Amino acid sequence: MSPNYIRSFSEGCLRPPTVIGQFHTLFFGSIRMFFLGVLGFAVYGNEALHFSCDPDKREVNLFCYNQFRPITPQVFWALQLVIVLVPGAFFHLYAACKSIKQEDILQKSSYTGFYIFSVFLRIVLEVVAFWLQIQLFGFKVNTIYMCDVGALDKKFNITRCMVPEHFEKTIFLIAMYTFTVITVILCVAEIFEISCRRLGFLKTQ
């Protein structure tokens, strides 16, 4: 791929053809990633080390932590961010290969339809991630986790485990839910902006 294609691709990703799309990129790329990268590590970075069960033995702690966290929240949210970026990245790669200027995307129906489809796909992926987050983490992190250790052939099948910094994790969960909702709202608003521009209610950039 030539340098011109790479430059067009990067410009398209950083400066979408709509005002709301540009705000979405700013919100998505800076605030959300900063929140996850910096604060997420501070909240979840040492969770496995501080997760303790009764009896407080390494094998029990590891077994119960894997049961408590089938996937760590940082990994889940990082995957969510990457997957949600894919539809837009494919569109801007297509636009770069076809030498489509950003200002022309909202002028031709086929380009506009393709772009709207990529935004709609982002909405679907965010909604799916929202549902999966509910299934995996719920809305609240409890202080005590009841772990089934029957597979370890222990005397008691159920043991109590202490979840460290449960209140901070609950706040972080709510924040990530909020970010997902805001992102979906921005995507819907972007489709609305495109429709208004196509109908002539707003001036095309």
Rounded CA separation 44/92 (Å): 34
Q: What is the pLDDT of residue 24?
A: 78
Residue corresponding to tokens 């200027």 = 101
Of all helices (H) and strands (E), which one includes residue 123?
helix 109-137
DSSP H helices, 138-165, are: none
Dihedral pair phi/psi, residue 19, rounded to 5°: -65, -45
CB atoms within 10 A of CB 199: 8
Question: Could you name the CATH architecture of 20-204?
Answer: Up-down Bundle (1.20)
Between the alpha carbon of residue 162 and those of residues 47, 128, 154, the distances in Å are: 11, 30, 19
Q: What is the pLDDT of residue 11?
A: 54
Residue corresponding to tokens 């837009």 = 88
Q: What is the pLDDT of residue 115?
A: 86
- What's the token pair of residue 20? 């709301």
- What's the token pair of residue 108? 């031709």
Residue corresponding to tokens 């569109």 = 91
Burial class (CB in 10 A: 0-12, 13-18, 19+), 4: exposed
Is it true that the peptide bond before 55 is cis, omega within 30 degrees of 0? yes
Break the chain into its structural domains and give their ranges: 20-204
**pLDDT digit of tens for each residue in the chain (205 aa)?**
455 545 554 554 556 677 788 787 777 767 888 878 777 777 787 788 888 888 778 888 888 888 888 888 888 988 988 888 888 888 777 777 777 777 777 777 887 888 889 899 999 999 999 999 999 988 888 999 888 887 776 666 778 888 888 888 899 899 889 989 988 998 899 888 888 877 766 665 4
